[in-house]
Each structure stands twice: as C-alpha cells, then as structure tokens.
Amino acid sequence: MSFAERMLHIDRRLIFLLIGVCTLLPLLYPVGLAIKVSPEVHGVYDYIEALPEGSIFLLSMDYDPASKPELYPQAVALLRHAFRKNLRVIGMTLWLPGTGLAEQVMTKVAGEMGKVSGKDYVFLGWSPGSGSLIINMGQDLYKAFPTDYYSQPTRELAVLKGIQTLRDVNYVVSLAAGTSGIETWYLYGKDKYKFELGGGCTGVIAPGLYPLLRSGQINGLIGGMRGAAEYEVLIGQKERAVAGMDAQSATHFAIILLVILCNVFYLLIRTSPKQGEAR
C-alpha cells in the first residue's frame, strides 16, 4: 500500500482529534484576528440605530437549544443594542423547544441593562400556529397573546401602550434556525402588515436567504456565529462570538488543508504506474 493509499485510509478519529485540537487551542490562547463587518449585518445595525427612542422592536427567537452557539450570541447583541437605544422590546418565539432559552436571554440582558419586565420589555413566550399566529398578531396582538410568559394580561402592560397590531411595530427581527422563521415572518407578516423585517440565521440556512436580502424583502441578515461576531464588533461588546472566531478560522484552515491533501492523494493514486497497469 502506497503512502497516498495509507493516508486515504487513515483512522477518521485522528481527523476528529485534529479538528478538536484546532478548535480548542484558539479558545485557550486567542489570537484576535480582525473581523470585517459585512453590509448585510450593517443593514440590521443601521436600521436599529436609526430608530427613535421608544420605538417598538420585536425580536422573534425562532430557534431551539441545538442552534444556541450561533443564535444566542446574536440575540444577546441585538437585545443589548435595542435596550441601549431605549427601544420598547417585545420578545417571543415560534419554536416551542426554544421558549426557555429565549426567556433566559431576555431576562439576562434586560437585567444587566437595568430594564423592567412589563415597562421596558415584554416576553410573550410561545403560542402555536406559526403562520396563523403571525396573522392573528397582525389583526389583534392581544388576542394572539392575552397574557405574557409570566401570565400578566398584555393589555395592562405599559410597554405595549399604543400597540394594537403588527402594523404598529417598527422593526421585526427573526433569529431563525429553519422553518418557522424569517420566511414565515415575511410570508404572513411583512408582506401584509408592512413592517420592516431583518433576519439572523444559522449558517446552514443563510445561503437560502440571500435572495430575500437582494430583492429587499429583508433589510439585513446576520449569518451564523460570524454574523454574531460582526454585530458584537458593531456594538462594541466583544464576547462569545468574537472569542469563537479564531477557532472558526483555525478549523476552516484545517478543513481546507485536508480537502487539498485528499485531492492530492487521490490524484497520486490515479496517476501511479500500478494503477495504470491495472487499466
């Protein structure tokens, strides 16, 4: 067996180990590689930045714990930005398994920014229906959510004063790990109730959402952990996502190297004299 053949039959657990080491080392010893902010992330940031104080910002955290590493940092960064701008924040989720996670991030960020539930923000929790829930919210927010997550009647909450339907919301951002998510909010929400819509998503679904960005159906897109890191840079609070970018670069470098090496080994096998004789 030639060297190339031996390398192509290498125990795959060694590759897992290599990727693990490439991820762990930059986390333990950060390098601090530069992060350039992309226009699509700027789109979301600029829109929130331009909103006047007291505007209504709805953050729909449409993900479950499986997507936490990518979307949790996005939620933290967006909420910090919104609270810093003194926007009135409505939090909710279309994903039942993500309810606890969404409540945790709202409470945590609101607590550190000194915001009060019911006065500065409200967490509505989850309600079934996705598309029909959005339509319901577009007709009457209080019918869709008669109470908030903590069983407080929504009609009595100061933060929702003057809001009747989704038409009264200034900006909606959906942080999506799949369907239901950004597309659902566009389909049943923005298209009919004409609010501005931005998005944040996992890396897996990001390529499928770029057509919506180009056509102006969404005004910005925060893609994966990379997008979260860019947003952290924009708000000047570098945390988990930025810390993970060195590891991201190292693993990408390792994977590119492995792909090139594999192709070289395949080429060597195909062009070796032994292979030629066999033909």
Among 202, 219, 220, 234, binds other proteins (CB under 8 A): 202
Among 10, 33, 116, 204, binds other proteins (CB under 8 A): 204
Written as six digits, the tokens of 34 are 């530069």
The CA distance from 239 to 225, in Å, is 11
Among 10, 49, 146, 167, binds other proteins (CB under 8 A): 146
Give the range of 14-22, 29-37, 50-58, 158-166 binding other proteins by CB under 8 A.
14-22
9 binds other proteins (CB under 8 A): no
Nearest CB to other proteins, comparing residues 20 and 32: 20
In the range 231-250, which residues lie near other proteins by CB under 8 A?
Answer: 240, 243-244, 247-248
Are 272 and 2 a contacting pair, CB within 8 Å?
yes
Instruction: Tell me which DSSP letter residue 188 carries.
Output: I
95-122 residues labelled b (16+ CB within 10 A) or e (exposed): beebbebbbebbbebbeebebebbebbb
The CA distance from 209 to 202, in Å, is 11
CB neighbour list of residue 19: distance below 8 Å, 6 or more residues apart: 251, 254, 255
Count the residues of the shown chain that bind other proteins, applying the rule CB under 8 A: 55
Nearest CB to other proteins, comparing residues 66 and 116: 66
Q: What angle do CA 88, 92, 95 make, to 5 degrees?
A: 160
In the range 256-275, which residues lie near other proteins by CB under 8 A?
Answer: none
221 binds other proteins (CB under 8 A): no
Give the range of 21-29, 41-49, 105-113, 166-174 binding other proteins by CB under 8 A.
21-29
Nearest CB to other proteins, comparing residues 251 and 272: 251
For tokens 């190292």, name the residue.
250
The CA distance from 175 to 60, in Å, is 6
DSSP bridge pairs for 60: 92, 174
Distance of closest approach, residue 114 Cβ to other proteins, in angstroms: 22
For tokens 């601090």, name the residue.
32
Task: Show the binding pattern over residues 95-134: x = contacts other proteins (CB under 8 A), - = does not.
Answer: -xx-xx------------------------xxxx--xx--
Around Cβ 216, how many Cβ atoms within 10 Å?
7
By CB under 8 A, name the binding residues for other proteins.
13, 16, 19-20, 23-24, 27-28, 66, 68-70, 96-97, 99-100, 125-128, 131-132, 135, 146-147, 151, 183, 186-188, 191-192, 202-204, 206-208, 211, 214-217, 223-226, 240, 243-244, 247-248, 251-252, 255
